[in-house]
Amino acid sequence: MQLQCSEPCEASNQELREDRVCANCGAPLELVPERPSLSAEALRALWSGRRSSIEPADRSGVWRFRELLPAITERLADIVTIGEGNTPVLRGMATAKYAGVADLSIKHLGWNPTGSFKDTGMTVAVTRAAARGAKVVACASTGNTAASMAAYAARAGMKARVFLPRAVAAAKVAQAEAYGAELVRVGDNFDDALTEMLEGADPTTYVLNSLNPFRVAGQKTFIIELLEQLGWQVPDVIALPGGNLGNLAACGAALDDAMALGLITRRPRLAVIQAEGANPFARMWKSGAERLTPVSNPTTIASAIRIGAPVSWRNAARALRATGGTAIDVNDEAIAEARRVIGRDGIGCELGSAAALAGVKVLRDSGWLSEQERVICLLTGHLLKEPGTGDGSGNHAESHAHAGARC
C-alpha cells in the first residue's frame, strides 16, 4: 500500500506520516487506491457469500468488503472487530412526507456497536495501529470518535487518550470512560481540542483523527454496503450531515471504487448538510471559493457537527464535484424539527444526524431535487448519544457536570 499527499505536492516520503497531515503542505494524506482484479460479478458473489460465514471478519459489515480495504494483515485473527457495519436501510414514512419526496430511505449508521458511523473506520485504523505495534492511540473528538476509538483500543489492548472540548454530550463522555479511555477536557470546541492534541502528541502516539487515511478507507464500506442493500440500483441522491467531512470524503472514495470496479455505472449526487452556526464548507461551496475559511466560534445544538475548521474539506469538495452534489446549511430549529419527524418513523437519531433530513426538505423546496427522485438519508449517530434537545433541557446540564479542566 502506498501513501500520498491529497494535494499536488512535492512532499518527500519522510514528510508523509500516515497518522498526521502532510508535513510539507498541511493537507491530509491518502492511500493510493489498490483495487482488486476480480470482476464486479465475482466481488458481489464473494461479499454476499461471506454473510453466511461464522468467521467474525466475514460477518463484519466492514471486513466483509476487505477487497476494498488496504492490505493491513493476512491473518483474519489480527483484525480488531466488534461486529461493526451491517446497519439497516429503512423505508421513510413520516420522513418522506415531511421532505416532500416519494421515495426516501434511511441508512442508520448509528446502529453500529458504539452508536455511530465512526466504528466503520475505527475498526480498520485500530487494526492498522495494532499491526504497527502502537501502544497508545489518541484523538480529538466531539464525542463519537472518542467513544469509538476507546472501544476498539480496549479491544486491541491499547491505551486510549481522548481530547474532548468542554461541551460534549454526556452520554459520549460516559462511553469513552466505560471503555477505559483517559479523558483530557480541553478548549471550547473541537478545533481547540484537535490543536492541543496534535501539539502534545509525542511521536510514539498513533493519532486516530479523521485525517487518518485508514479511517477513511474503512468508512468507504458503508456506501458499498448501502449499494448492495439496494441491489446495486443507484439512488439519485445521498444526503448526509457534515462536520469534519471525513464521511463525505469516504462517500466520494467509495463511489470512485464502485465505478472503477463496474459495481455501478453512475454516481448518486451527494448532498452534505451543515448546521448554520458551523457552516464553513457550505459557505465555501456557495461562494465558489477555492479554499475553506474556518468559522472561529462554531455554535449549534448539534454537537456532533459543531466544527469550524473541517480537516477533510478538500476531498469533500472533490466528492461533490465528481457527483454533481451540493453543500447547504440548515438552522437549529430545522434540525430539531427534523429529529422529531425521524422519531415519528420509530427510528430516532442524534441531533447532528437530523440535519440530513432537514437538508433534503430544503433541497426539495428549492427544486434541487424532484419529488420522484430516490433519496437516501445517512444518519450517523444513535438517539441515545444525545437524548436531550440541545436547548439546555438535557445534555447541557449533564455536560457541565463533566466540565472540569483535565481528568
Distance CA 145, CA 125 (A): 12
Q: How far is the CB of 26 from Zn ion (least distance, A)?
A: 7
Measured from the CB atom, the residue of 16 and 362 that comes closer to Zn ion is 16
Measured from the CB atom, the residue of 3 and 322 that comes closer to Zn ion is 3
| Binding status of residue 22 toward Zn ion by CB under 5 A | yes
Bridge partners, residue 164, by sequence: 185
Name the segment binding Zn ion (CB under 5 A); options: 21-29, 94-102, 253-261, 278-286: 21-29
| Binding status of residue 211 toward Zn ion by CB under 5 A | no
Taking CB under 5 A as the criterion, the residue among 24, 86, 195, 299 binding Zn ion is: 24
Q: How far is the CB of 16 from Zn ion (least distance, A)?
A: 8
- What cell numbers appear for 107 in the block? 441508512
Phi, psi of 300 (to 5 degrees): -170, 155
Name the segment binding Zn ion (CB under 5 A); options: 26-34, 260-268, 287-295, 361-369: 26-34
Beta-carbon contacts of 4 under 8 Å, excluding residues fewer than 6 positions away, are: 16, 29, 30, 31, 32
| Binding status of residue 1 toward Zn ion by CB under 5 A | no
Q: Which amino acid is at 80?
A: V
Measured from the CB atom, the residue of 9 and 156 that comes closer to Zn ion is 9
Name the segment binding Zn ion (CB under 5 A); options: 9-17, 87-95, 116-124, 368-376: 9-17
Going by DSSP bridges, is the β-strand pair 374-379/269-275 parallel, antiparallel, or unpaired?
unpaired
| Binding status of residue 25 toward Zn ion by CB under 5 A | yes
Measured from the CB atom, the residue of 5 and 302 that comes closer to Zn ion is 5
Measured from the CB atom, the residue of 32 and 102 that comes closer to Zn ion is 32
Q: How far is the CB of 4 from Zn ion (least distance, A)?
A: 9
Measured from the CB atom, the residue of 5 and 248 that comes closer to Zn ion is 5
- For residues 220-250, one letter each, b for 16 or more C-beta atoms within 10 angstroms of the residue's C-beta and e for the rest, the string is bbbbbbbbbbbeeebbbbbbbbbbbbbbbbb
- What cell numbers appear for 357 in the block? 433530513
Measured from the CB atom, the residue of 13 and 393 that comes closer to Zn ion is 13
Count residues binding Zn ion (CB under 5 A).
Answer: 7
| Binding status of residue 174 toward Zn ion by CB under 5 A | no
SS3 207: strand
Distance CA 32, CA 15 (A): 16
Q: How far is the CB of 25 from Zn ion (least distance, A)?
A: 3
Going by DSSP bridges, is the β-strand pair 29-31/3-5 parallel, antiparallel, or unpaired?
antiparallel
Distance CA 30, CA 4 (A): 5
Q: How far is the CB of 167 from Zn ion (least distance, A)?
A: 33
SS3 98: helix
Q: Which amino acid is at 230?
A: L
| Binding status of residue 259 toward Zn ion by CB under 5 A | no
Q: How far is the CB of 137 from Zn ion (least distance, A)?
A: 24
Going by DSSP bridges, is the β-strand pair 29-31/136-140 parallel, antiparallel, or unpaired?
unpaired
| Binding status of residue 5 toward Zn ion by CB under 5 A | yes
Angle between helix 144-156 and helix 118-131 axes, rounded to 10 deg: 40
Distance CA 90, CA 247 (A): 20
Residues that bind Zn ion (CB under 5 A): 5, 9, 11, 22, 24-25, 27
